[in-house]
Amino acid sequence: MLDEKTLTMVKTHPGFIAAMDQGDLSTPGALRQYGVPDETYQTSEEMHNIIHDMRTRMIISDEFSSKYVLGVILYKDALERAIFSEPMPNYLWNKKGMLPFLKIDQGLAPLVDGVQQMAELTEFDTLVEKAKDFPFIGFKFRSLVCAANEEGIKQLVKQQFDLAKKVYSLGYLPMLEPDIDLHIIDKKQAEIYLKEALIKELNNLDTDMKIMLKLTLPSEPDFYHDLLDFPQVVRMLASSSGLRQTEADKKLSENHDMIASFSRALTEGLSYQESDMEFDFHLRQTLHAIFDASNT
């Protein structure tokens, strides 16, 4: 749970957040990128076993160091997983010195008013109860903007902040992710509406409350930078949103005081067919590039 030590780490430690929270829908794409075709597995359990092996290979590498990685976002599946017989979140904290976060949303609701809010959190109480047995310091939750619909975006942001208040009251740091579809034609206007909605909610938020914001890389560099003027925002993260690694790094470097929370761009170029030496070489290149882009 959150305490002053971990809050200070979140605020001041260099590095970035590794997003390893692919769920049932996004895992097949992640495995294809890793060189594992769909026909390799037949069941959801087999699929999650394979991606756990991929994550473990990354985490246990000497290259995957707290010098570069501040924290890791995990999927609920990680609550049942171990690395060298130690629970995965515990291994990250005890052996790697990285802050573990848990993804708690259950996917997206149907499209309404140009947005997909979070689906109903039917597992929330169960996940929170299970999380108490692990060193999680925060929970992440995502929704998606699909069009520049002002009212839809307001309601989406309100839902995010309502959940953030609940999460913080339980002793965890909320990581809000009001994502924007990178490919919509009115992305710049959607960003304007999103920023306005975020400012409105922040102005009404208790100044003692702390949150993290994970945002899609903006069309205009540093567009979200002034959100960091709010004392409630302890760190602002950037989602790669499906961008290729080099493009995501370039855009991130143009947004000062914003650090990466990459998923696709983190694992790009890695392959299960590589030798450990080749794998570590590519991982080192990726980690260095993301770290440099996060600390410009």
Average confidence score pLDDT of the chain: 96
Per-residue pLDDT band for 250 (boundaries 50, 70, 90) equals very high
The angle formed by the CA atoms of residues 145, 79 and 270, to the nearest 5 degrees, is 65
Residue 214 annotated as catalytic: yes
Task: Please state whether beta strands 258-262 and 233-239 pair in parallel, antiparallel, or not at all (unpaired).
Answer: parallel
Which tens digit of pLDDT belongs to each residue from 45-83? 999 999 999 999 999 999 999 999 999 999 999 999 999
- Which homologous superfamily is 4-294 in? Aldolase class I (3.20.20.70)
In 146-274, at which residue ranges do the beta strands (DSSP E only) sit?
173-180, 211-216, 233-239, 258-262
Q: Break the chain into its structural domains and give their ranges.
A: 4-294
The pLDDT of residue 210 is: 98
C-alpha dihedral sign at 261, 126, 130, 31? negative
Catalytic residue (one of 177, 191, 201, 268) = 177
**296 has a pLDDT exceeding 80:** no
The pLDDT of residue 241 is: 84
Which tens digit of pLDDT belongs to each residue from 207-223? 999 999 999 999 999 99
Burial profile 161-194: b = 16 or more Cβ within 10 angstroms, e = fewer: bebbeebbeeebbbbbbbbbbeeeeebebbbbbb
Catalytic residue (one of 103, 195, 214, 251) = 214
The pLDDT of residue 295 is: 84
Separation CA 175–CA 273 (nearest Å): 34
Which tens digit of pLDDT belongs to each residue from 115-155? 999 999 999 999 999 999 999 999 999 999 999 999 999 99
